[in-house]
Amino acid sequence: MEERNKTLGEFIIENQNAFQYSSGELSRIINSIRLAAKVVNYKVNKAGLVDIVGAAGEQNIQGEDQQKLDVYANEVFIQTLINREIVCGIASEENDQFITVEGSDNSHNNKYVVLMDPLDGSSNIDVNVSVGTIFSVYRRVTPIGSPVTIEDFLQPGTSQVAAGYVIYGTSTMIVYTTGHGVNGFTLNPAIGTFYLSHPDMKFSEDGHIYSINEGNYVHFPQGVKDYIKYCQSEEDDRPYTSRYIGSLVSDIHRNMIKGGIYIYPTSSKAPKGKLRLLYECNPMAFIVEQAGGKASDGFGRIMEIEPTELHERVPFFCGSYNMVEKAEEFMHKAKLSKY
Protein backbone atom coordinates (compact mmCIF):
# COMPACT_ATOMS: atom_id res chain seq x y z
CA MET A 1 0.00 0.00 0.00
CA GLU A 2 1.37 3.43 -0.94
CA GLU A 3 2.11 5.82 1.93
CA ARG A 4 -0.33 8.43 0.68
CA ASN A 5 -3.24 5.99 0.55
CA LYS A 6 -2.80 4.84 4.13
CA THR A 7 -5.62 5.61 6.56
CA LEU A 8 -5.07 7.01 10.03
CA GLY A 9 -6.36 3.75 11.52
CA GLU A 10 -3.89 1.68 9.51
CA PHE A 11 -1.06 4.03 10.40
CA ILE A 12 -1.84 3.77 14.13
CA ILE A 13 -1.87 -0.03 13.98
CA GLU A 14 1.39 -0.21 11.99
CA ASN A 15 3.15 2.14 14.41
CA GLN A 16 1.76 0.76 17.66
CA ASN A 17 5.13 -0.70 18.68
CA ALA A 18 6.81 2.68 18.26
CA PHE A 19 4.91 4.02 21.26
CA GLN A 20 6.87 4.15 24.50
CA TYR A 21 4.15 2.11 26.19
CA SER A 22 2.43 -0.18 23.68
CA SER A 23 -0.46 -1.58 25.70
CA GLY A 24 -3.06 -0.10 23.34
CA GLU A 25 -4.48 2.82 25.31
CA LEU A 26 -2.52 5.48 23.45
CA SER A 27 -3.76 4.19 20.09
CA ARG A 28 -7.32 4.24 21.41
CA ILE A 29 -6.90 7.82 22.63
CA ILE A 30 -5.83 8.93 19.13
CA ASN A 31 -8.80 7.04 17.70
CA SER A 32 -11.14 8.80 20.15
CA ILE A 33 -9.76 12.18 19.14
CA ARG A 34 -10.27 11.21 15.48
CA LEU A 35 -13.95 10.45 16.20
CA ALA A 36 -14.55 13.65 18.18
CA ALA A 37 -12.79 15.70 15.48
CA LYS A 38 -15.19 14.39 12.84
CA VAL A 39 -18.19 15.37 14.99
CA VAL A 40 -16.83 18.87 15.65
CA ASN A 41 -15.83 19.24 11.99
CA TYR A 42 -19.44 18.60 11.00
CA LYS A 43 -20.66 21.38 13.30
CA VAL A 44 -17.92 23.80 12.21
CA ASN A 45 -18.75 23.27 8.55
CA LYS A 46 -22.42 24.09 9.02
CA ALA A 47 -21.88 26.80 11.64
CA GLY A 48 -23.40 29.49 9.41
CA LEU A 49 -26.59 27.49 8.94
CA VAL A 50 -27.48 26.67 12.55
CA ASP A 51 -27.60 28.49 15.88
CA ILE A 52 -24.05 27.54 16.87
CA VAL A 53 -22.24 30.78 15.97
CA GLY A 54 -21.68 33.57 18.48
CA ALA A 55 -21.12 33.98 22.19
CA ALA A 56 -22.57 31.51 24.67
CA GLY A 57 -23.06 34.27 27.23
CA GLU A 58 -20.51 32.92 29.71
CA GLN A 59 -16.81 33.34 30.38
CA ASN A 60 -14.18 30.66 30.85
CA ILE A 61 -11.61 30.51 33.67
CA GLN A 62 -9.42 33.07 31.84
CA GLY A 63 -12.25 35.60 31.77
CA GLU A 64 -12.73 35.23 28.02
CA ASP A 65 -16.14 35.12 26.40
CA GLN A 66 -16.99 31.54 25.50
CA GLN A 67 -18.30 30.95 21.99
CA LYS A 68 -21.11 28.44 21.45
CA LEU A 69 -18.80 26.21 19.43
CA ASP A 70 -16.21 26.35 22.26
CA VAL A 71 -18.75 24.85 24.64
CA TYR A 72 -19.96 22.30 22.09
CA ALA A 73 -16.45 21.14 21.13
CA ASN A 74 -15.44 20.91 24.78
CA GLU A 75 -18.40 18.64 25.56
CA VAL A 76 -17.81 16.44 22.51
CA PHE A 77 -14.13 15.80 23.23
CA ILE A 78 -14.69 15.24 26.95
CA GLN A 79 -17.60 12.85 26.47
CA THR A 80 -15.86 10.90 23.71
CA LEU A 81 -12.81 10.34 25.93
CA ILE A 82 -14.92 9.46 28.98
CA ASN A 83 -17.17 7.06 27.07
CA ARG A 84 -14.21 5.10 25.71
CA GLU A 85 -12.88 4.53 29.28
CA ILE A 86 -9.26 5.05 28.26
CA VAL A 87 -8.14 8.06 30.32
CA CYS A 88 -8.02 8.68 34.05
CA GLY A 89 -8.23 12.45 33.82
CA ILE A 90 -8.95 15.37 31.48
CA ALA A 91 -8.02 19.04 31.72
CA SER A 92 -9.49 21.59 29.32
CA GLU A 93 -8.82 25.24 28.75
CA GLU A 94 -12.58 25.76 29.08
CA ASN A 95 -12.87 24.18 32.55
CA ASP A 96 -11.79 25.66 35.88
CA GLN A 97 -10.56 22.34 37.29
CA PHE A 98 -9.42 19.01 35.90
CA ILE A 99 -11.90 16.14 35.53
CA THR A 100 -11.32 12.83 37.29
CA VAL A 101 -12.49 9.92 35.13
CA GLU A 102 -13.58 6.63 36.68
CA GLY A 103 -13.99 3.33 34.89
CA SER A 104 -17.41 1.68 34.64
CA ASP A 105 -16.48 -0.36 37.72
CA ASN A 106 -15.55 2.84 39.64
CA SER A 107 -11.85 2.01 39.22
CA HIS A 108 -8.98 4.37 38.43
CA ASN A 109 -6.81 1.97 36.48
CA ASN A 110 -6.25 3.93 33.27
CA LYS A 111 -2.78 5.31 32.70
CA TYR A 112 -3.13 8.52 30.69
CA VAL A 113 -4.35 12.08 31.14
CA VAL A 114 -5.35 14.36 28.26
CA LEU A 115 -5.04 18.15 28.24
CA MET A 116 -6.72 20.11 25.47
CA ASP A 117 -7.84 23.34 23.93
CA PRO A 118 -11.04 22.07 22.32
CA LEU A 119 -11.51 24.94 19.87
CA ASP A 120 -8.56 27.28 19.46
CA GLY A 121 -9.25 30.50 17.54
CA SER A 122 -13.02 30.17 17.91
CA SER A 123 -13.52 33.94 17.72
CA ASN A 124 -12.73 33.50 14.00
CA ILE A 125 -15.74 31.21 13.42
CA ASP A 126 -18.04 34.16 12.72
CA VAL A 127 -15.85 35.24 9.80
CA ASN A 128 -15.24 31.77 8.36
CA VAL A 129 -11.53 31.55 9.24
CA SER A 130 -9.84 28.26 10.11
CA VAL A 131 -9.90 27.12 13.74
CA GLY A 132 -8.48 24.06 15.45
CA THR A 133 -8.26 21.65 18.37
CA ILE A 134 -5.02 21.11 20.31
CA PHE A 135 -4.36 18.08 22.53
CA SER A 136 -1.60 16.71 24.71
CA VAL A 137 -1.22 13.27 26.33
CA TYR A 138 0.80 12.37 29.45
CA ARG A 139 1.29 9.18 31.39
CA ARG A 140 0.04 9.71 34.94
CA VAL A 141 2.62 10.03 37.74
CA THR A 142 0.38 9.05 40.67
CA PRO A 143 -0.18 5.34 41.49
CA ILE A 144 -2.58 3.45 39.22
CA GLY A 145 -5.75 2.62 41.13
CA SER A 146 -5.99 5.99 42.88
CA PRO A 147 -7.84 9.07 41.56
CA VAL A 148 -5.72 11.52 39.59
CA THR A 149 -4.35 14.60 41.32
CA ILE A 150 -3.09 17.97 40.10
CA GLU A 151 0.44 16.48 39.89
CA ASP A 152 -0.66 14.29 36.98
CA PHE A 153 -1.37 17.42 34.94
CA LEU A 154 1.44 19.72 36.08
CA GLN A 155 4.16 17.89 34.17
CA PRO A 156 6.78 19.54 31.96
CA GLY A 157 6.31 19.21 28.21
CA THR A 158 9.28 16.83 28.01
CA SER A 159 7.04 14.19 29.63
CA GLN A 160 4.45 14.23 26.83
CA VAL A 161 3.87 10.88 25.12
CA ALA A 162 1.73 12.34 22.34
CA ALA A 163 0.48 15.70 21.11
CA GLY A 164 -1.37 16.97 18.10
CA TYR A 165 -3.84 19.33 16.59
CA VAL A 166 -6.85 19.22 14.32
CA ILE A 167 -7.26 22.04 11.82
CA TYR A 168 -10.75 22.73 10.46
CA GLY A 169 -10.00 24.62 7.25
CA THR A 170 -10.49 24.22 3.50
CA SER A 171 -9.78 20.62 4.38
CA THR A 172 -9.78 19.06 7.84
CA MET A 173 -6.51 17.59 9.05
CA ILE A 174 -5.16 15.77 12.10
CA VAL A 175 -1.45 16.36 12.70
CA TYR A 176 0.19 14.50 15.57
CA THR A 177 3.36 13.05 17.03
CA THR A 178 4.18 10.33 19.53
CA GLY A 179 7.85 11.31 19.62
CA HIS A 180 8.78 9.69 16.29
CA GLY A 181 8.27 12.52 13.81
CA VAL A 182 5.14 14.37 12.73
CA ASN A 183 2.50 13.09 10.32
CA GLY A 184 -0.58 14.77 8.89
CA PHE A 185 -3.85 13.11 7.85
CA THR A 186 -6.53 14.76 5.73
CA LEU A 187 -10.22 13.94 6.05
CA ASN A 188 -12.04 12.67 2.95
CA PRO A 189 -15.51 14.02 3.82
CA ALA A 190 -17.23 11.78 1.29
CA ILE A 191 -16.43 8.65 3.31
CA GLY A 192 -15.41 10.11 6.67
CA THR A 193 -11.87 8.68 6.64
CA PHE A 194 -8.55 10.39 7.40
CA TYR A 195 -5.75 9.55 4.95
CA LEU A 196 -2.01 10.09 5.37
CA SER A 197 -1.44 13.18 3.23
CA HIS A 198 1.62 14.77 4.85
CA PRO A 199 4.12 12.10 5.97
CA ASP A 200 7.13 13.14 8.05
CA MET A 201 6.36 16.87 8.19
CA LYS A 202 9.39 19.13 8.67
CA PHE A 203 10.13 22.80 9.29
CA SER A 204 12.77 24.27 7.02
CA GLU A 205 15.76 25.52 9.04
CA ASP A 206 15.16 29.02 7.71
CA GLY A 207 11.94 30.65 6.63
CA HIS A 208 10.58 33.88 5.21
CA ILE A 209 7.38 34.35 7.21
CA TYR A 210 6.99 36.00 10.59
CA SER A 211 3.64 35.72 12.39
CA ILE A 212 2.85 38.18 15.17
CA ASN A 213 0.03 40.59 15.95
CA GLU A 214 1.84 43.78 14.98
CA GLY A 215 -1.14 45.83 16.14
CA ASN A 216 0.24 45.33 19.65
CA TYR A 217 3.73 46.54 18.66
CA VAL A 218 3.82 49.41 21.18
CA HIS A 219 3.11 46.96 24.01
CA PHE A 220 5.87 44.47 23.09
CA PRO A 221 9.19 44.08 24.93
CA GLN A 222 12.18 45.75 23.28
CA GLY A 223 13.71 42.46 22.07
CA VAL A 224 10.56 41.64 20.08
CA LYS A 225 10.42 45.15 18.61
CA ASP A 226 14.04 44.82 17.51
CA TYR A 227 13.38 41.42 15.93
CA ILE A 228 10.38 42.78 14.00
CA LYS A 229 12.56 45.60 12.63
CA TYR A 230 15.14 42.98 11.64
CA CYS A 231 12.44 41.02 9.76
CA GLN A 232 11.37 44.19 7.94
CA SER A 233 14.83 45.43 6.95
CA GLU A 234 15.93 45.26 3.30
CA GLU A 235 19.07 43.21 3.75
CA ASP A 236 20.24 39.74 2.66
CA ASP A 237 17.07 37.66 2.05
CA ARG A 238 14.82 40.11 3.87
CA PRO A 239 12.33 41.67 4.33
CA TYR A 240 10.32 38.67 5.45
CA THR A 241 6.62 38.33 4.72
CA SER A 242 4.20 39.12 7.55
CA ARG A 243 1.37 36.58 7.86
CA TYR A 244 -0.92 36.49 10.90
CA ILE A 245 -4.30 34.73 11.00
CA GLY A 246 -4.94 34.98 14.74
CA SER A 247 -5.62 31.27 15.00
CA LEU A 248 -2.64 29.51 16.63
CA VAL A 249 -3.23 26.19 14.88
CA SER A 250 -3.55 27.82 11.47
CA ASP A 251 -0.52 30.07 11.87
CA ILE A 252 1.79 27.27 13.02
CA HIS A 253 0.43 24.81 10.44
CA ARG A 254 1.18 27.27 7.63
CA ASN A 255 4.65 28.02 8.96
CA MET A 256 5.50 24.32 9.27
CA ILE A 257 4.65 23.83 5.60
CA LYS A 258 6.13 27.07 4.26
CA GLY A 259 8.84 27.93 6.82
CA GLY A 260 8.49 30.71 9.37
CA ILE A 261 8.29 31.85 12.99
CA TYR A 262 5.27 32.39 15.22
CA ILE A 263 5.54 34.78 18.17
CA TYR A 264 3.08 35.60 20.95
CA PRO A 265 5.22 37.52 23.43
CA THR A 266 4.60 39.15 26.76
CA SER A 267 3.28 42.68 26.55
CA SER A 268 2.32 45.52 28.83
CA LYS A 269 -1.27 44.25 28.44
CA ALA A 270 -0.35 40.59 29.13
CA PRO A 271 2.83 40.63 31.27
CA LYS A 272 2.95 36.83 31.52
CA GLY A 273 1.98 36.21 27.92
CA LYS A 274 -1.43 35.07 26.74
CA LEU A 275 -1.06 31.50 25.50
CA ARG A 276 -1.46 28.61 27.96
CA LEU A 277 1.55 26.47 28.68
CA LEU A 278 -0.35 23.20 29.16
CA TYR A 279 -3.08 23.45 26.52
CA GLU A 280 -1.34 25.29 23.69
CA CYS A 281 2.41 25.82 24.07
CA ASN A 282 3.59 22.40 25.29
CA PRO A 283 1.71 20.35 22.67
CA MET A 284 2.70 22.74 19.89
CA ALA A 285 6.30 22.75 21.12
CA PHE A 286 6.40 18.93 21.02
CA ILE A 287 5.12 18.94 17.43
CA VAL A 288 7.47 21.75 16.37
CA GLU A 289 10.55 20.05 17.85
CA GLN A 290 9.61 16.70 16.31
CA ALA A 291 9.37 18.51 12.96
CA GLY A 292 12.90 19.88 13.33
CA GLY A 293 11.91 23.33 14.59
CA LYS A 294 12.43 25.12 17.88
CA ALA A 295 10.02 26.30 20.62
CA SER A 296 11.01 28.84 23.25
CA ASP A 297 9.70 31.41 25.71
CA GLY A 298 12.21 33.83 24.22
CA PHE A 299 15.04 32.70 26.49
CA GLY A 300 14.75 28.95 27.00
CA ARG A 301 13.04 25.75 25.91
CA ILE A 302 9.27 25.77 26.47
CA MET A 303 9.07 22.05 27.24
CA GLU A 304 11.47 22.32 30.17
CA ILE A 305 9.28 24.77 32.09
CA GLU A 306 7.91 23.25 35.31
CA PRO A 307 4.19 24.15 35.40
CA THR A 308 2.78 25.52 38.65
CA GLU A 309 -0.91 25.88 37.75
CA LEU A 310 -3.39 24.47 35.25
CA HIS A 311 -4.01 27.70 33.36
CA GLU A 312 -0.48 29.13 33.44
CA ARG A 313 0.41 31.53 30.65
CA VAL A 314 3.78 31.96 28.96
CA PRO A 315 5.29 33.87 26.02
CA PHE A 316 5.74 31.68 22.96
CA PHE A 317 8.25 31.71 20.09
CA CYS A 318 8.23 28.72 17.73
CA GLY A 319 8.99 27.70 14.18
CA SER A 320 11.98 27.33 11.87
CA TYR A 321 15.04 26.66 14.04
CA ASN A 322 17.32 29.47 12.83
CA MET A 323 14.54 32.06 12.98
CA VAL A 324 13.75 31.24 16.62
CA GLU A 325 17.47 31.32 17.44
CA LYS A 326 17.72 34.80 15.93
CA ALA A 327 14.67 36.02 17.86
CA GLU A 328 16.20 34.69 21.09
CA GLU A 329 19.40 36.55 20.23
CA PHE A 330 17.49 39.84 20.09
CA MET A 331 15.70 39.02 23.36
CA HIS A 332 19.00 38.37 25.14
CA LYS A 333 20.59 41.54 23.74
CA ALA A 334 17.67 43.67 24.90
CA LYS A 335 17.77 42.09 28.34
CA LEU A 336 21.50 42.76 28.70
CA SER A 337 21.12 46.36 27.57
CA LYS A 338 18.90 47.04 30.59
CA TYR A 339 21.81 46.51 32.94
The answer to whether the annotation marks 120 as part of a ligand binding site is yes
User: 47-56, 84-93, 251-260, 328-337 — which is least confidently predicted?
Assistant: 47-56
The answer to whether the annotation marks 117 as part of a ligand binding site is yes
- pTM for this entry: 0.92
- Split at pLDDT 50, 70, 90, the class of 75 is very high
- Summarize the confidence of residues 306-319 as an average pLDDT: 98
Q: Is residue 64 scored above 60 in pLDDT?
A: no
Predicted local confidence at residue 279, as pLDDT: 98
- Summarize the confidence of residues 304-320 as an average pLDDT: 98
Predicted local confidence at residue 125, as pLDDT: 72
Predicted local confidence at residue 128, as pLDDT: 76
Per-domain residue ranges of the chain = 8-198, 209-337
Q: Is residue 201 scored above 60 in pLDDT?
A: yes
Question: What is the rounded distance in angstroms from the CA atom of residue 275 to the CA atom of residue 156?
Answer: 16
Single-letter amino acid code for the residue at 196: L
The answer to whether the annotation marks 121 as part of a ligand binding site is yes
Q: Is residue 278 scored above 90 in pLDDT?
A: yes
- Does domain 8-198 match CATH 3.30.540.10? yes
Q: Which residue has the higher pLDDT, 91 or 57?
A: 91
The per-residue DSSP string of 253-312 comes to HHHHHH-EEEEE---SSSTT-SEEIIIIIHHHHHHHHHTT-EEESSSSBGGG----STT-
In three state form, how does the secondary structure of 197-227 look? EECCCCCCCCCCEEECCHHHHHHCCHHHHHH
Predicted local confidence at residue 48, as pLDDT: 54
Residue in 134, 193, 197 with CA at minimum distance from that of residue 166:
134
The answer to whether the annotation marks 119 as part of a ligand binding site is yes
The answer to whether the annotation marks 213 as part of a ligand binding site is yes
Mean pLDDT of all residues in the chain? 90
- Summarize the confidence of residues 214-219 as an average pLDDT: 96
Predicted local confidence at residue 27, as pLDDT: 86
Q: Is residue 263 scored above 70 in pLDDT?
A: yes
User: 13-17, 97-101, 109-113 — which is least confidently predicted?
Assistant: 13-17
Looking at CATH, the fold of the domain delimited by 209-337 is given as: D-Maltodextrin-Binding Protein; domain 2 (3.40.190)
Q: pLDDT over 70 for what percent of the chain? A: 90
pLDDT in tens, 137-196: 999 999 999 999 999 999 999 999 999 999 998 899 999 999 999 999 999 999 999 999
The answer to whether the annotation marks 130 as part of a ligand binding site is no
Predicted local confidence at residue 2, as pLDDT: 47
Highest mean pLDDT (candidates 16-25, 63-72, 219-228): 219-228
Predicted local confidence at residue 23, as pLDDT: 63
The answer to whether the annotation marks 51 as part of a ligand binding site is no
**Domain 209-337 in the same topology as domain 8-198:** no
Question: What is the rounded distance in angstroms from the CA atom of residue 320 to the CA atom of residue 295?
Answer: 9
- Summarize the confidence of residues 24-31 as an average pLDDT: 87
Single-letter amino acid code for the residue at 187: L
Task: Report the DSSP pairing between strands 241-242 and 209-211.
Answer: parallel
